[in-house]
Structure 1
Amino acid sequence: MAEVNQQPGLSNQTSQEKEAEPCQESLEDLLTTLSNQIRSSDWLEKNTAEKFALENPEVAQAFKDAAEKSAVKQSAGDKNKT
């Protein structure tokens, strides 16, 4: 019979390395988990746009200005298509 040349502990090291690797989830699994957490969370109920605007008036105004500017550009683009 032919001898198998194995280094001692090599097979144990391989299994230990596998155990040390983080569990790899698919993108679909991650999105499902995120979706479930969003649905079960009350974060959106507690953190409203109004609350954000009160706590961050300058940032809220910048968002509002950008949204209005974007709406004007889209409206002008729609008129040019006709």
Structure 2
Amino acid sequence: MAEANYHSETSNKLTQENEGKPKGESLEDLLTTLSSQIRSSDWLEKNTPEKFASENPEVAQAFKDAADKSAEKKSGGDQG
């Protein structure tokens, strides 16, 4: 529920920021806005890999297994 509120607040901020701006912002404008929001957000501080793993152990294990398998392929491919 808090996440939904966060997204709603973010959407409202974007709407307010974009009022008065011409339609069809450039990609550079959009990337600048995204970059600014990422820098000012605490989402990464709250949503750590450890938190994800504790809340989603099966998914976390699947990611780990896939990463290990990928690493094995890369290290095995370099030798041949």
TM-score normalised by L of structure 1: 0.67
In structure 1, stretches of 5+ residues that fail to align are 1-21
C-alpha separation in 1, matches of 2:32 and 2:77? 37
More helix by share: 2
Q: CA RMSD in A?
A: 1.2
Distance (Å, rounded) in 2 between the aligned partners of 1:76 and 1:25 = 47
Cα deviation 1:13-69 (Å, max 9, x = unaligned): xxxxxxxxx711111111111111101111000000000000000100000000000
Structure 2 equivalent of residue 53 of structure 1: 53
User: What is the rounded CA distance, in whole Å, between the counterparts of 1:58 and 1:73 in structure 2?
Assistant: 23
Q: Which runs of 4+ in 1 moved over 6 A?
A: none
Structure 2 stretches of 5 or more lacking a match? Answer: 1-21
Larger Rg belongs to:
1
Work out the number of aligned pairs and report it. Answer: 59
